[in-house]
Amino acid sequence: MKLTDEMFVCIDCESTGLDTAQDRIVEIAVARFTFDQILQSFETLVDPEREIPQTSQDIHNISQEMILGKPKIREVLPKILEMISNLTIVGHGINFDIALIANEAKRAQIPTNILSQPYIDTLRLARLYGESPVNSLERLRQHFNIESEGAHRAMSDVIVNIEVFKYLSKNYQTSDQIQKILQKPIKFKIMPLGKHKGRRFDEIPLEYLLWAERKDFDQDLMFSIRSEIKNRRKGGGFDQSANPFTIL
């Protein structure tokens, strides 16, 4: 089936924190869509049955008062999982949202196959695209001149994410083609974080790369770091001749 004829589902969660095993959903938005229109959408604030840390409130602007009287996640999960079922899931850093939903379903003892569903991560697709200097959803929105949907909240992010996905997938024919390409790690040209953020990998000191290699970064960043280290050891770098770390 052509990409433009397929139905997808985009999801976005706001949460109490970044630990998908322990943190809880405070807002969730889901939209079934095609390239022509949004077919069905649902959003709700969720009572996480715990306190929302201030650091998380500062990101999504969802306060403790806002979730008072809102449904518990077990009350809305059946509807959400029904909307997600049997479709390719689209989202920005979507593994986080999928894991969050899967763990909430497990706690609520609601069966789901969400962990085995096909998905497309628009964050990684943006890395592959490579033309935006920053791959956050907001910066991609600006890069593609997509109209703002307002504050950083789940449904506004879903609507922007759908439009970003359309731009990023213009050069592909099917979702299977995109998924196959994204199975391989993506090599960064520019360091996306840390004290050398914004520098080309071939400009970063080898000592720093060797330090970063021991960290728990995602597959694309680890691949990029290790590729550059390998390149230096083969003689492709600028500082290996005087650097004692090159023999490691």
Cα–Cα distance for residue pair 211/74, rounded to 1 Å: 43
Q: Is 90 exceeded by the pLDDT of residue 43?
A: yes
pLDDT for the residue numbered 124: 96
Q: Is 90 exceeded by the pLDDT of residue 236?
A: no
Q: What secondary structure letter does DSSP report for 85? A: T
Confidence of residue 82 (pLDDT cuts 50, 70, 90): very high
Q: What secondary structure letter does DSSP report for 31? A: E
Q: Which amino acid is at 147?
A: E
- Please name each of the domains of the chain with its CATH number: 3-181 (3.30.420.10), 201-247 (no CATH)
pLDDT for the residue numbered 149: 79
Q: Is 70 exceeded by the pLDDT of residue 239?
A: no
pLDDT digits (tens, 9 = 90+) for 191-207: 988 999 989 999 999 99
- Among residues 139, 24, 7, the alpha carbon closest in space to that of 73 is found at 24
pLDDT for the residue numbered 152: 73
pLDDT digits (tens, 9 = 90+) for 204-217: 999 999 999 999 89
pLDDT for the residue numbered 245: 42
Q: How far is CA 109 from CA 17, 19, 22, 43, 91, in A?
A: 22, 20, 16, 22, 25
